[in-house]
Chains A and B, each alone.
Chain A
Amino acid sequence: MTDPVSQSNSRNGLVLSLRGISKSFGAVSALTKIDLDVHAGEVVALVGDNGAGKSTLVKILAGVHLPDSGTITFCGEIVVLDDPAASLRLGIATVFQDLALCENLDVVANIFLGRELDPWRLDEVAMEIRAWTLLNELSARIPSVREPVASLSGGQRQTVAIARSLLLEPKLILLDEPTAALGVAQTAEVLDLIERVRDRGLAVVMISHNMEDVRAVADRIVVLRLGRNNGIFHPDASNQELVSAITGASNNAVSRRAERRQGSREHSGEPRP
């Protein structure tokens, strides 16, 4: 197992550092002694099988759950994230898998929901300008910010959700399955968007099931398995390695299938540099 952490450490400031995070729900322990480092200007992909604890970890960072033990260090200070507002205040923005958009409201209203400019006399003009600025910075392709979100495509909705999370100028942005349920072109669009967010100097943590997407955009891949750390990989790690780490066995359903199809040059044999 390689350890690419040291490389990226030198490059940028450490934004988030988890040490020994554990969380159990009743008798089920969802996370056991998780360590995770995220730096500014870096995309960290969090991968793992169903039930590996990815979503629990994101919810801990979003302030939805409190960890049972362990420390969260954010920008050099030990913090307690005891509710979603606390996370937001610190600069941790979360884009949940279901996006949490109101389909009946337009793009501007969604972006500013809960933090409208001038709540006593909504400043629609200023909000619309700010919304366009945000979307333009992300080079997002949204036909109109005055259309209800219901009329947007999945990729555009993801864009709106990400733009909203950037409104409070966070330092860290958590994306839960940003490319699930998207078509090929829309996925590419969202991956571009993630890169642009990273290039603005933000730290990005992204959960995904899709190895292609993860490898396309992540700087480091952190594998969780059964609630424990199970390796940190470069994006150029072979599929074989990743799948073994995720499933915990070198002889697994995926590799057996790969062998059977004799597609080893395409599926598992990517040479390491």
Chain B
Amino acid sequence: MQHDLVKAADPGHAAISDVAENKEQTFAARVFASQPFWVTIALIALVVIMAINEPSFGTVENAANVTRNFAPIGIMAMGMTVVIITGGIDLSVGSVMGLVAIVAGLFLTWHYPWYLAFAMGMIAGIACGAVNGFFVAYVGMPSFVVTLGMLSIARSLAVVFSANQMLYQFGPDAPIVRAIGQAKWPLRAPAGWAPQWMPELSSHFWVMVGLALIVGYVFNSKAWGRHLFAIGGNEQAARLTGVPVDWIKFQAYVFSAFTASLASLLLLGYNGSAINAMGQGYELRVIAATVIGGANLMGGAGTAFGAFIGSAFLEVIRNALLMAGIDSNWQGAFVGAFIILAVLLGMQTGGKAIVAAILERLLPKKHR
């Protein structure tokens, strides 16, 4: 399952998964049994249907919009996947975004250079992650409780630091900050070389893709990634074999906070302003994206590709409903239904168990 990322994110690497898996279960069987595969199929189907029926959906502008909109969720879903693989959860990511934006925004309003402001924001975010990680890994508290507390603390600090004001007078480095958040590549004529059919993809999207490739590589090729899965599968076993369980769990929460900080700084640049409400409710969207992408809340399973495709799927549903002119209040119902459906499909052996169960219902054994 963690092999899917390489295949999808970098076509040049497809051969590796093929070679590595050729002995046993065929590569195809493995793909068919994976939840991200079915979600990808659903996503492609949704995009095709929408593109045919709704001319405004299939435009390059909309493609650029959608990819930019889901990128922050996708970036945080990478961190969330790491935490969920260890069997934990991080509810604080949305609040950490708010705190990071306010801290970075304050330093910008005080006319510090952009890199210092970004660094201070990053430090604030990573500090939140370190507190989460310390209490979960070394004190042994449930991650739900610790990160729920941090959700409240970080948001409160953001409100206090900002004096409940929006920060937008960013001093001399404001153009740089905005350039980072609003950058696009590849550019179309006249500024660039890209043909008219190619969407101008945002910096957010490229950061997410880069992060997904790194996370996918770590999951597949580093002992650290292997240990994450081991901790989620059987923490006691990992401990007995000498895996530094506490240290790795600590790092997982720090990484999750790091991804939240990254997403926050990109959004800060895009908006050109910082509000303490940034990221409110994002934790649930991130968790939903991660779970749709095949991460198991019990730990031990998850992929970077799944996190990517899950967040893309959520945003495309949202966008499609909007484009189809359906009352936006229906969004929640659709998204919720898809969360349940995706996890249902991913249960046990991917779609097979469900398909078998349905067949069993429709065609009881005595009739076959």
Across the interface, name the chain B residue whose C-beta is closest to A115: B242
> Are B23 and A105 within 8 A (Cβ)?
no
Whole-angstrom distance between the alpha carbons of A262 and B25 in the complex? 54
> Are B232 and A104 within 8 A (Cβ)?
yes
Whole-angstrom distance between the alpha carbons of A143 and B226 in the complex? 22
A37-45, A118-126, A220-228, A264-272 - interface stretch: A118-126
> Are B234 and A103 within 8 A (Cβ)?
yes
A6-14, A94-102, A133-141, A191-199 - interface stretch: A94-102
Q: Does B301 contact A (CB under 8 A)?
A: yes
Contact of B242 among A105, A114, A119, A122 (CB under 8 A): A114
> Are B241 and A100 within 8 A (Cβ)?
yes
**Minimum CB–CB distance for A112 against chain B, Å:** 8
Given the interface pairs A119-B222, A122-B222, the reply to whether A102 lies near B24 with Cβ below 8 Å is no
Contact of A102 among B220, B224, B233, B242 (CB under 8 A): B233
Interface residues of B in 221-267 (CB under 8 A from A): 221-224, 226-227, 229-230, 232-234, 236-238, 240-243
Q: Does B61 contact A (CB under 8 A)?
A: no
Contact of B234 among A101, A124, A146 (CB under 8 A): A101
Interface residues of A in 81-123 (CB under 8 A from B): 84-85, 88, 96, 98-105, 109, 113-116, 119-122
> Are B241 and A114 within 8 A (Cβ)?
yes
Q: Does A213 contact B (CB under 8 A)?
A: no
> Are A146 and B233 within 8 A (Cβ)?
no
Whole-angstrom distance between the alpha carbons of A119 and B248 in the complex? 14
With a CB–CB cut-off of 8 A, which chain B residues contact A96? 240
Q: Does A144 contact B (CB under 8 A)?
A: yes
With a CB–CB cut-off of 8 A, which chain B residues contact A109? 226, 229-230
> Are B242 and A85 within 8 A (Cβ)?
yes
Q: Does A147 contact B (CB under 8 A)?
A: yes
**Minimum CB–CB distance for A94 against chain B, Å:** 8
With a CB–CB cut-off of 8 A, which chain B residues contact A105? 226, 229-230, 233
> Are A102 and B230 within 8 A (Cβ)?
yes
What's the A-B contact tally at a CB cutoff of 8 Å? Answer: 77
Q: Does B52 contact A (CB under 8 A)?
A: no
> Are A120 and B222 within 8 A (Cβ)?
yes
Whole-angstrom distance between the alpha carbons of A164 and B220 in the complex? 21
Across the interface, name the chain A residue whose C-beta is closest to B30: A146
**Minimum CB–CB distance for B6 against chain A, Å:** 13
> Are B226 and A122 within 8 A (Cβ)?
yes
Across the interface, name the chain B residue whose C-beta is closest to A64: B240
With a CB–CB cut-off of 8 A, which chain B residues contact A84? 240, 242
Whole-angstrom distance between the alpha carbons of A236 and B230 in the complex? 43
Whole-angstrom distance between the alpha carbons of A152 and B232 in the complex? 19
Contact of B21 among A115, A120, A143, A146 (CB under 8 A): A146
Across the interface, name the chain A residue whose C-beta is closest to B230: A102
**Minimum CB–CB distance for A124 against chain B, Å:** 6
Across the interface, name the chain B residue whose C-beta is closest to A94: B240
Whole-angstrom distance between the alpha carbons of A105 and B238 in the complex? 11
Given the interface pairs A116-B223, A146-B21, the reply to whether A104 lies near B301 with Cβ below 8 Å is yes
> Are B23 and A102 within 8 A (Cβ)?
no
Q: Does B310 contact A (CB under 8 A)?
A: no
Across the interface, name the chain A residue whose C-beta is closest to B237: A100
With a CB–CB cut-off of 8 A, which chain B residues contact A116? 223, 226
Whole-angstrom distance between the alpha carbons of A103 and B87 in the complex? 14
> Are B25 and A121 within 8 A (Cβ)?
no
Q: Does B20 contact A (CB under 8 A)?
A: yes
Q: Does B294 contact A (CB under 8 A)?
A: no
**Minimum CB–CB distance for A86 against chain B, Å:** 12
Given the interface pairs A119-B224, A121-B221, A122-B222, the reply to whether A113 lies near B243 with Cβ below 8 Å is yes
Q: Does B300 contact A (CB under 8 A)?
A: yes
With a CB–CB cut-off of 8 A, which chain B residues contact A144? 23-25
Interface centre among B221, B232, B236 (most CB of A within 10 A): B221
**Minimum CB–CB distance for A257 against chain B, Å:** 38
Given the interface pairs A102-B230, A122-B223, A124-B20, the reply to whether A114 lies near B238 with Cβ below 8 Å is yes
With a CB–CB cut-off of 8 A, which chain B residues contact A99? 237
With a CB–CB cut-off of 8 A, which chain A residues contact B24? 143-144, 146-147
Whole-angstrom distance between the alpha carbons of A104 and B234 in the complex? 8
Whole-angstrom distance between the alpha carbons of A143 and B23 in the complex? 10
Given the interface pairs A104-B232, A146-B25, the reply to whether A113 lies near B226 with Cβ below 8 Å is yes
The list of the 9 closest CB pairs from A to B, nearest first, reads A119-B223, A102-B233, A114-B241, A100-B237, A104-B233, A144-B24, A104-B300, A114-B242, A116-B223
Residues of B whose CB lies within 8 Å of any CB of A are: 20-21, 23-25, 220-224, 226-227, 229-230, 232-234, 236-238, 240-243, 300-301
Residues of A whose CB lies within 8 Å of any CB of B are: 84-85, 88, 96, 98-105, 109, 113-116, 119-122, 124, 143-144, 146-147, 164
Known: A104-B300, A105-B229. 19 other contacts (CB 8 A): A84-B240, A96-B240, A99-B237, A100-B234, A100-B241, A102-B229, A102-B230, A103-B234, A103-B300, A105-B230, A109-B226, A113-B227, A114-B243, A120-B223, A121-B222, A122-B221, A124-B20, A146-B24, A164-B241
12 A-B pairs in the complex with CB atoms less than 8 angstroms apart: A100-B234, A102-B233, A105-B233, A113-B238, A114-B238, A116-B223, A119-B223, A120-B222, A144-B24, A146-B21, A147-B24, A164-B241
